[in-house]
Amino acid sequence: MTNLATYLKGQDRPTSTDMPVPAIALAIGAHPDDIEFGCGGTLAKWSNGGCVIHYLILTDGSKGTWDENRDPSELAHARKLEAIESARTISISAEVHFLGRIDGELESTHKERSEVAYLIRQIKPEVILGHDPFKRYRLHPDHRNAGWITCDSIVAARDPLFFPEHKLERHRPNALLLWEADEPDHFESTETYLQSKVDALLKHKSQYETTMGISGEVSAAAKSQLASMVAHQAEVVSLRWNEKEAGEEFKLITDL
């Protein structure tokens, strides 16, 4: 049994902190930049500890703009390049996978579950991270459906009679971490990796206005504003957990 599996088996408390670094982690996001916002600090920390990092981005991000004259195809291409550059900022060896569904039209169907379960069986992550589909009042349908795809694909990847056409061994991860959780019960300290998270987010230049509050030229002041926002969010989490270091919080599920 791995160190991570031993740790998880021993968690009989209602909350937990700082799990051992997994050997392989897969983060599944609805759009380019969702992963960085949700768990960028944790992934940077794990990468520094030797974890192999994989990203799976489910949509093309082609509607991620307030500019009604922006060409969706051009935007999708730009966001794909941004996603790769951002992931490599978190982990120089990160592998980025794309499902390529149209932004705003993501659904959890047999096809999506098959494709994601195939990837899970192929890379065999110890930990999967994703959107919490159980979060109340979640507005964006892609975020909800990305969460369902993640959960449903874990079930499909672990059971041998799902998708036998894959011709791959089934795989059961040790843990699922859901960000923006409705009922968070796991804390990862990321104080040392706040700048890595900010640097990764800054690679998503197409999203400066829509998600980061940066308009016009990207000045030092604008970058500092983003850094302050990220630090504030992490500090709020640490206060909720009564932790000395800033961090990220998740719903931890180990009964997979």
For residue 54, is it within any domain? yes
Q: Which domain holds residue 81?
A: 3-10+23-253
Q: Which 3 state secondary structure label does DSSP give 250?
A: strand
Report the amino acid identity of residue 52: V
Residue 81 forms part of a structural domain: yes
Q: Does 69 map to a domain?
A: yes
Q: How many other C-beta atoms can be found within 10 angstroms of the C-beta atom of residue 147?
A: 23
Tokens encoding 83: 């996603």
Angle at 240 between CA 234 and CA 245, to 5 degrees: 45
Is 16 a member of any domain?
no
Write the pLDDT tens digit of every residue in 69-112: 999 999 999 999 999 999 999 999 999 999 999 999 999 999 99
Instruction: Quick: pLDDT tens for 13-65.
Output: 458 999 999 999 999 999 999 999 999 999 999 999 999 999 999 999 999 99
User: Does residue 17 lie within any of the structural domains?
Assistant: no
Contact 53, 95 (CB under 8 A): yes
Can you point out the beta strands (E) in the chain?
A: 16-17, 24-29, 52-59, 95-101, 127-131, 175-179, 186-189, 247-253
Q: pTM for the full model?
A: 0.92
In-domain check, residue 15? no
Q: Is residue 153 part of a domain?
A: yes
**Count of structural domains within the chain:** 1
Quick check: is 166 in a domain? Answer: yes
CATH code for the domain of 36: 3.40.50.10320
